[in-house]
Amino acid sequence: MFRSFFPSPVNFFVSAIAWAAVAMTIWFTIGSSIQPYLSLGPWLAVQPTEAVPVPFFDADRVWLYQFVIMAGYLFCVPWYFLNDNKRWYWWSVVGSVTIIEIVYFNVQVDAWLNDWYGEFYNMIQTSLQTPNTYTFDEYLGKIWTVAAVLAVNIFVLVLNAFFNAHYLFRWRRAMNFYYMANWQKVRHVEGAAQRVQEDTQNFSSIVENLGLDIIASIMTLLVFIPILWGLSDHLPVLPWVGAVPGSLVWLALFSAIFGTVLFAVAGIRLPGLNFANQRVEAAYRKELVYGEDHAERAQPVTIRDLFKNVQRNYFRIYFHYTYFNVFRYAYLNASQFFPYLAVGPSVVTGAITFGIFQQILQAFGQVSSSFRFLMNSWTTIINLISIYQRLRGFERQIPEEGKVFANDYDDPRYLATETVPASATPVVVPE
């Protein structure tokens, strides 16, 4: 699953985590000391103005983005020489780092927007209370500032979506031809065609999406926890609890832990049911495929029994998802009101402005959503587990002795597995 695309997967991912820890240590210890010598901020930074006192690309942010880019691509260099799978190096190594860099950029945009919302809503509150405090040009200035940042972000997101699509297809391609190079050893496995054609696509897509969600959640927590902790100073007491330093952070954490445990207990049987569902679907589909070429196959009694198995398993899934969704939707709807309850005393006493209120809601939403990563992704994780179980069982049928490690359609190792006689009628591939 991973070996066909990534170089030495275990070493690669462990070294990536270790390198990220080293880079963060350098940033928080000597980052400011080396900034004057390495930063491009003096040449690239947007200078602050009266209308935009804190521009998005100020000198400090330029240095931060520059450091992240340097750290990311420096990690790629040794893997070019350590890589025993150079066929996919630029996609699996450099491509992965590029996608992560874009995720970090998007998190930084969210953090900047959180500050912008605070200033903008404070402007609205002041203007409503004291007319003509601001001019219409100043109001438009705020709008144009955020529009410029969002325009860049939209452009980056569109390019990233295009790049992601190609990245996923390359991973699927590598997995596909690794399995096809060993096809003669696994073609007898029930649902073998589905493993190669469908599960490779779904596995690469889900793993990438979940992986990026994990990374985005971690980055969001690193950026927004200090923001939310500072905003907690505006809440002297937490209802029914009292004074708690960083109260909003703790509220987000404990609510996420409660929800994750709740989801895990309620959905404990779902991965096994999804795995069983794929097996009965594969058996039904296989009989239908045989029926296309053989008149004696796909007979009414056989189809009836196979479809009853499909129906029985689906009805079990529907039952278990019913009580799972009761807990799921009850919690998700109730959790929306947690920050409103937390800021209640400060709102009714007028201790915070409308801008701070909006900043708290935005930051709390970012932090709590990141803490609730497992819960928000639970159904996707269930699907991934069932796909992983199928592919893992599929790979176990490939004996180590004689295993062919090919990972592309023009790989000589794959082409060498040809078993069709040269005199056979060639297959016509439709355009």
Residue pLDDT, tens place only, 163-189: 999 998 998 888 888 888 888 888 887
The pLDDT value given to residue 427:
46
The pLDDT value given to residue 411:
80
Residue identified by tokens 């699907």 is 383
Long-range contacts of 224-231 (CB under 8 A, 24+ apart): 224/110, 224/111, 224/114, 224/363, 224/366, 224/367, 224/370, 225/249, 225/367, 227/111, 227/114, 227/359, 227/363, 228/252, 228/360, 228/363, 228/364, 228/366, 228/367, 231/356, 231/359, 231/360, 231/363
Low-confidence ranges of the chain (pLDDT < 50): 422-424, 427-429, 431
332-334-340 Cα angle (round to 5): 120
The C-alpha atoms of residue 76 and residue 101 are separated, in whole angstroms, by: 13
3-state DSSP percent of the chain in helix, strand and coil, to 5: 75, 0, 25
The pLDDT value given to residue 73:
94
Number of H helices, E strands in the chain: 17, 0
DSSP letter for 198, please: I
The C-alpha atoms of residue 31 and residue 225 are separated, in whole angstroms, by: 20
Any idea which fold 213-397 has?
A: ABC transporter transmembrane region fold (1.20.1560)
The pLDDT value given to residue 429:
45
b/e sequence 99-123, b meaning 16+ C-beta within 10 Å: bbbbbbbbbbbbbbbbbbbbebbbb
Q: What residues does each domain of the chain span?
A: 1-182, 213-397
Per-residue pLDDT tens digits for 152-167: 999 999 999 899 999 9
Q: What is the pTM of this model?
A: 0.76
